Structure 1
Amino acid sequence: MKQSELIKQLSNEDLRKSVIYSQLLFIVIAAVLSLVLFEDLRTWTFIIQFDISEVVYFGILPGILIVLVDLVLMRFLPSKHYDDGGINKRIFSDISIDKILLLTFLIALSEELLFRGVIQTIFGYIFASVSFAIVHVRYLRKPVLLISILLVSFLIGYMYEVTDNLLVTIFSHFIVDFLLGIFIRYKSWGES
């Protein structure tokens, strides 16, 4: 049975739960890989830095810019180019803002711990960025979504290269997902 058929059988709540479970799995994988691949677990203290100006300048502001570019593209491209099979709409359309905030923070935290914190730190920028895009499998057959996720992945990976600060990538990723989640929640998605 195809992934899309399995997803259609899930309720919106079950779909959100599966997203949460997959993100918790990413955290476990990141923890296990860091135990195996890091020379010392203190590596985490070097790559997570509480530099607010760096987080704002390299994380939050680029995150807002990514969302603005996405919204402009959504405005001018037919909605079929941004259709991920209705999954994002089902995840975000009927939940409260505080649940969107928590869910998107979990997604940003878990994916950045794994893809930038472990994979990029050990295997490099290109491998981590491509791996991140591949994990978003539902975008692989949608050229606009695939290009978008690749560009965002390389941009966020580059911000990590520049800053060596995982908080920058976590906040950038969070801003993108949170603002787009809010947009999906309050927009009549796919009507055009």
Structure 2
Amino acid sequence: MIHQLTDREIVKQLYFTQFVILIASAVIGFFFFEDLHDFFKLWNIRDEYIIWYGVTLAVFVIFADMAVMKWCPRHLYDDGGINELLFRNRPVPHLLFLTLLIAFTEEILFRGVLQTHIGLWAASLVFAVLHFRYLTKWLLFIMVTGISLMLGLIYEWTGNLFVPVTAHFIIDAVFACQIRFQYVRRGLHDGNVKS
């Protein structure tokens, strides 16, 4: 169905999804948190663990994903072209904004609201199931579930939402830019895409 949408409609759907995630976070958080102060205590921008855990996890995931793409058959990790449709036509600043938005909204819901109140395993399971497009692709599902657990673990260890947000953002930004650059390179080679 997504292949029938225009590029503009795809971007609108992505923004709408992130808006829904933020609304869900606010509604669920309203019942789980005593007040906003409890939520804001989960954030510490001056924490050195942002670099040690967040960046390190991102680099590990990026290399693991590159290894999967190198050694596994494409059909095992192919998401049906959805990520390519989302990211191939975006300028890099827009890609960075989108991936930062995705990282913040998903980590607020899954780590900040759900994991804080229902635990690591339950939040990771919800995260994996909501990435339902991977349910029929066992390798992608295992990878998404594993990444969710790792993001949850670094949040458990640090108690700081900026740590998983940083890791999530770097992972998504690198892969989004990789999709964009591959698309531009193919188009330049074929002579039919604007950079």
Q: Normalising by structure 2, what TM-score?
A: 0.90
Answering whether residue 103 of structure 2 is matched by residue 120 of structure 1, we say no
Contact 1:34 1:41 in 2 (8 A): no
Pairs within 5 Å for 1:173-184:
173-184=168-179
Q: 1:106 aligns with which of 96, 101, 114?
A: 101
Contact 1:116 1:128 in 2 (8 A): yes
Q: Return the letter of the residue paired with 1:26.
A: I
CA offsets per residue over residues 67-97 of structure 1, 9 Å max, x none? 1110111011111112111100111111111
Q: Normalising by structure 1, what TM-score?
A: 0.92
- Superposition CA RMSD, Å: 1.5
Deviation at 1:21, TM superposition (A): 0.8
CA offsets per residue over residues 89-119 of structure 1, 9 Å max, x none? 1111111111110010010000000000000
Q: 1:53 aligns with which of 28, 48, 57?
A: 48
Deviation at 1:157, TM superposition (A): 0.3
Q: 1:9 aligns with which of 4, 22, 27?
A: 4
Contact 2:95 2:173 in 1 (8 A): yes
Percent identical pairs in the alignment equals: 35
Q: Return the letter of the residue paired with 1:144.
A: L
Which sections of structure 1, spanning at least 5 residues, go unmatched?
A: 1-5
Aligned residues: 185
What is residue 192 of structure 2 aligned with on the other side? none
| Range that drifts further, 132-141 or 6-15 | 6-15
CA offsets per residue over residues 106-154 of structure 1, 9 Å max, x none? 1000000000000001100000011101111111100110010010000
| Range that drifts further, 45-54 or 132-141 | 45-54
| Range that drifts further, 12-21 or 118-127 | 12-21
Answering whether residue 28 of structure 2 is matched by residue 33 of structure 1, we say yes
